A and B are shown apart, each in its own frame.
Chain A
Amino acid sequence: MRLIPKEVESLWTLFTAPTIWAVHFLVCYVGAAVFCAKRNALGLDFITVRSGIGIVTVIALLAILGSGWLAWRQWGFGTHEPPHDEPSHHDRNRFQGFATLLLCALSFVAVIFTAMPAAIITECNP
């Protein structure tokens, strides 16, 4: 049995990368807010938040890359140029692959933008 099926006939794969982006965003912002609200009780340094954000960012980026690779495969590794607008199974599949690939690229950049403040901010705002 293959770990990853050769073909996925589902619309859900389209949303994988944006979902990762959304979850990453919430983890970063909610995590930092909770840390700063509870910092006295926690007794940890702010570097915990920054490295935590770094780790979830790497995980999110790898997951998006994985999703992007699957999308690329679904698109046929670029062997077919868009537009894929024939009413056929083949074109529907290629179209979805291409759209997923573009969403992966967008989410990849968005995740990096979300994490960038952690490179600058060194402390909770008083």
Chain B
Amino acid sequence: MSIGVASDARGRRERRPLKQLFLIAFAVLLSGCAGVQSALDPAGTEAEAVATLFWVMVAGGTLIWIAVMGGFYYATRIKREPHSERAAGRLILWGGAVFPVVVLTLLLAYGLSLMPKLRPWTAVAEEPALRIEVTGEQFWWRVTYHRAGEDPVVAANEIRLPVGERVVFTLKSADVVHSFWIPSLGGKMDMIPGRDNTLTLEATRTGIYRSPCAEFCGSSHALMVFSTVVMEPDAFDDWLAREARPSPGAKADGLDAFLRNGCQACHAITGTEANGVIGPDLSHVGSRDTLGAGILQNEIDSYVALIRRPDVIKPGIRMPGFHGLPDEEIETIARYLKGLE
């Protein structure tokens, strides 16, 4: 019996499993058309241009496919005798040379005409109102907000943007090549060690979007994600001002435990003496959408699990495990960190 063919008691054959498989595959494909990580559900100017380009290509490809199949049908079913040499020559000239040249020229012109929108280099020339520096590190994202005339604000694993404003990104890497991609907002750009790449994006819809690292970068590449929170400009300004100040919970109980166990060698918390720069800044970690670069829910249990055995959660992670610490100590630290809002 072949795969996907089931037969009932009377030996009647049904193709149900195969059909189900198709339905499931179709549903999986459809789920790519919307949601927090879809280039086909644009929430930014650049992503809109890319989505339009995609649909133009799909429509054009479909038309050409239909034409080729039609020609195939014509040649095999309708006119089943040799064509004259003249007709064949004409087909080669028009179908093989003129048509591709015209189509490619139009596509190239269309693609180039999108360039000013996708890579608005003039917008980058002057120092922009908001520039966000993002550095890819195995396996997390360092984020620094630069505003003209103000101190930079350091954060990690989450990017916040004001809706309707053009933001300039400076993309860097601390180790290997990573790739920065917010599918809902625009195209991707690589983060290359020793280079500063510039990208600009303009979000058009508020919401939370998801971004995986888009270039294989090591054992936990698939666990390197960040969220982008697009906010109303006023809310964004408030948020950034709060982010620049120490968290109200910075001096709470648990800071001692955090310092006692050497966490500050790698992590910084503004308003405390913790000022390590090897790992993510934890100043406001409790208020982030996710924990551990987009892979855990931001709740006490996740902190406990991460502090105890980070390598189990993320193979190759550059943070040592603290499973030697007593459970209460870990929980105290976890509660303290969750309180950093």
CB contacts (< 8 Å) of A120 on chain B: these are: 112-113, 115-116
Query: Contact: A126 with B124, CB < 8 Å?
Result: yes
Q: How far is the CB of B258 from chain A (nearest CB, A)?
A: 40
B108 sits at the interface (CB 8 A): yes
A3, B112: Cα distance in complex, Å: 42
Interface status of A113 (Cβ within 8 A of chain B): yes
> Chain B contacts of A117 at CB under 8 A?
112, 115
Query: A123's contact among B101, B121, B198, by CB below 8 Å, is which?
Result: B121
Interface hits, A110-126 → B, CB 8 Å = 112-113, 116-117, 119-126
Mask for A89-126, Cβ within 8 A of B = 1, else 0?
00000000000000001000100110011011111111
Tell me, in angstroms, the Cα distance from A103 to B121 when the chains sit together: 36
A121 touches B115 (CB 8 A): yes
Given contacts A109-B101, A120-B116, A121-B115, contact A126 B108 (CB under 8 A): no
**Given A123-B121, A126-B121, A126-B125, are A116 and B101 also a contact pair (CB < 8 Å)?**
no
Q: Tell me the nearest residue of chain B to A125, going by C-beta.
A: B121
Interface string of A47-82 (1 = CB under 8 A from B): 000000000000000000000000000000000000
Question: Is B109's CB within 8 Å of the partner chain A?
Answer: yes
CB within 8 Å for A125 and B198 given contacts A113-B108, A116-B109, A116-B112: yes
Task: Report the separation of the CA atoms of residues A109 and B116 in the bound assembly, to the nearest whole angstrom.
Answer: 24
Distance between Cα atoms of A105 and B124 in the complex (Å) = 40
What is the bound-complex CA distance between A122 and B125, given in angstroms?
A: 12
Which residues of A come within 8 Å of B, CB atoms? Answer: 105, 109, 112-113, 116-117, 119-126
| B241 interface hit (Cβ, 8 Å) | no
CA gap between A113 and B105 in the complex, in Å: 7
Proximity string of chain B (78-111) to chain A, C-beta cutoff 8 Å, 1 when within and 0 when not: 0000000000000000000100010011001100
A21: shortest Cβ distance to chain B, in Å?
15
- B interface residues, tally (CB under 8 Å): 16
Q: How far is the CA of A16 from the CA of B238 in the complex (A)?
A: 65
Q: How far is the CB of A29 from chain B (nearest CB, A)?
A: 15
Contacts of A123 in B (CB 8 A): 121-122, 125
Contact check, B112 vs A119: say whether CB atoms are below 8 A apart. Answer: yes
Q: Is B210 an interface residue (CB 8 A)?
A: no
Tell me the complex Cα distance, A109–B98, Å: 11
**Closest residue of chain B to A124, judged by CB?**
B121
A105 CA to B92 CA, complexed, in Å: 15
Which residue on chain A has the smallest CB distance to residue B104? A113
**Contact of A125 with B101 in the complex, beta carbons under 8 Å:** no
Interface flag for B119 (CB, 8 Å)? yes
- A113 vs B116: C-alpha distance when bound (angstroms): 18
Contact among A112, A116, A125 for B119, CB-based, below 8 A: A125
Assembly CA distance A119 to B111 (angstroms): 12
In the bound complex, what is the Cα–Cα distance between A125 and B119 (angstroms)? 9
Q: Which of A109, A112, A116, A122 contacts B122 (CB 8 A)?
A: A122
Name the residue on B nearest A120 (C-beta).
Answer: B112
Closest to B109 in A: A116
- Name the residue on A nearest B170 (C-beta): A126
- Tell me the residues in window 110-158 of chain B with beta carbons closer than 8 Å to chain A beta carbons: 112-113, 115-116, 119, 121-122, 124-125
New contact pairs (7) apart from A109-B105, A113-B104, A122-B121, CB-CB < 8 Å: A113-B108, A116-B109, A120-B113, A123-B125, A125-B121, A125-B198, A126-B125
In the complex, which residue of chain A has the Cβ closest to the Cβ of B124? Answer: A126
Q: A124 CA to B122 CA in the complex, in Å?
A: 9
Which residues of chain B come closer than 8 Å to A113, judged between CB atoms? 104-105, 108
In the bound complex, what is the Cα–Cα distance between A122 and B112 (angstroms)? 12
- In the complex, which residue of chain B has the Cβ closest to the Cβ of A119? B112
In angstroms, how far is the closest chain B Cβ from the Cβ of A31? 18
Name the B residues within 8 Å of A126 (CB-CB): 121, 124-125, 198
- CA A126 to CA B119, docked complex, whole Å: 11
Residue pair A105, B97 in contact (C-beta under 8 Å): yes
For A121, the chain B residues whose CB sits under 8 A away are: 115
> A123–B126 Cα gap in the complex (Å)?
13
**A120-B106 Cα distance, complex, nearest whole Å:** 14
